[in-house]
């Protein structure tokens, strides 16, 4: 046992240690980093749900990349072809992009070479095309390419993508199985993590995928789930997510929201809740709630 004087001394030492700890270390005890959902500290993400994308989405991406001065890198690798011509980027050029470079390889060594990555050094925008998201991981998850993608954001640029190019931007790689795109938790489970602690699905309403996200959230309840329908996108700047496009974005955050309230609604259990956002709606990723 210790006497009162010893106890007071111990309390004093403890108080001094707490005061000297960095603020972030104290905050992490309340909100562990692996449970925080947050966008990039700089730059912008444009995350589209697939299908034919309207001018609203593509021109927003090009504007964020610098408009007439945009220098775009288009990466079609997810589609699975051996090679791609410049015509693969027609959907960008037809909307006004004057400077587009198509980059593709299925070799991680090539992807991380100085020659291959040179166009990324001054890029203001990167767009990942659709297909199978695991192909993007297999080709570009090496240290050099991944870092240069991220530097586009650090310079204040924009990273966008549709379908597979949407899912790859999350931390958990939904539908990352090499054998079947219906498997939600496959042999590839790590995305490029431009948004932390999130799983992103696409084509959700067009393909009746609205219940598929639960396969991930049952195993990883700490994740925020979002599902983006076709011809719809979210624009993410820091922790704010804005919906643009023609359809809806589904949010799986364990709560429910409706413009008309929910007091009179008969809702399912918390683990089976989701709600829809439409163009103009905004959402705080870190706080996981609608921005009025």
Confidence (pLDDT) at 282:
98
Query: Is pTM beyond 0.75 here?
Result: yes
| 292/81: higher pLDDT | 81
Residue 235, strand partner residues: 46, 242
Please tell me the total number of residues recorded for the chain in this structure.
292
Name the helix (H) or strand (E) containing 44: strand 44-48
Give the E-state strand segments of 68-122 in sequence order: 72-75, 100-102
Question: Which domains does the chain carry?
Answer: 43-291 (3.40.50.880)
How far does Cα 59 stand from its chain's mean position? 19
- pLDDT, one tens digit per residue, over 77-104 is 999 999 999 999 999 999 999 999 999 9
Compute CA distances 185 → 11, 133, 139, 172, 213, whole Å.
Answer: 48, 13, 20, 9, 10
- pLDDT, one tens digit per residue, over 130-169 is 999 999 999 999 889 999 999 999 999 999 999 999 999 9
| 16/218: higher pLDDT | 218
* Residues 242 and 235: beta-carbon distance below 8 Å: yes
**Closest Cα to residue 92, out of 164, 144, 162, 181?**
162
* Residues 165 and 78: beta-carbon distance below 8 Å: yes
């Amino acid at each position: 046992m210790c006497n009162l004087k010893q106890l007071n001394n111990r309390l004093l030492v403890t108080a001094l240690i707490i005061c000297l700890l960095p603020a972030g270390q104290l905050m992490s005890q309340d909100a562990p980093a692996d449970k925080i959902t947050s966008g990039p500290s700089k730059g912008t993400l444009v995350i589209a749900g697939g299908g034919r994308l309207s001018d609203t989405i593509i021109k927003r991406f090009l504007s964020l990349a610098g408009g007439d001065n945009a220098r775009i890198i288009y990466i079609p690798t997810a589609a699975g072809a051996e090679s791609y011509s410049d015509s693969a980027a027609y959907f960008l050029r037809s909307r006004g992009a004057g400077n587009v470079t198509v980059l593709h390889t299925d070799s991680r060594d090539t992807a991380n070479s100085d020659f291959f990555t040179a166009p990324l050094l001054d890029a203001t925008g990167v767009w990942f095309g659709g297909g199978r998201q695991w192909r993007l991981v297999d080709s570009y998850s090496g240290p050099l390419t991944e870092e240069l993608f991220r530097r586009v954001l650090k310079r204040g640029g924009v990273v966008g993508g549709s379908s597979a190019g949407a899912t790859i931007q999350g931390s958990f790689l939904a539908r990352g199985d090499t054998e079947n795109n219906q498997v939600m938790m496959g042999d590839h489970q790590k995305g490029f993590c431009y948004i932390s602690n999130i799983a992103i699905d696409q084509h959700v309403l067009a393909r009746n995928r609205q219940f598929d996200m639960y396969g991930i959230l049952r195993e990883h309840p700490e994740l925020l789930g979002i599902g983006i329908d076709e011809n719809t996108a979210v624009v993410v700047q820091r922790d704010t997510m804005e919906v643009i496009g023609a359809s809806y974005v589904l949010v799986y955050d364990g709560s429910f929201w409706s413009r008309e309230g929910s007091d009179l609604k008969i809702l399912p259990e918390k683990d089976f809740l989701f709600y829809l956002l439409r163009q103009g709606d905004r959402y705080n990723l870190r706080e996981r709630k609608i921005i009025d």
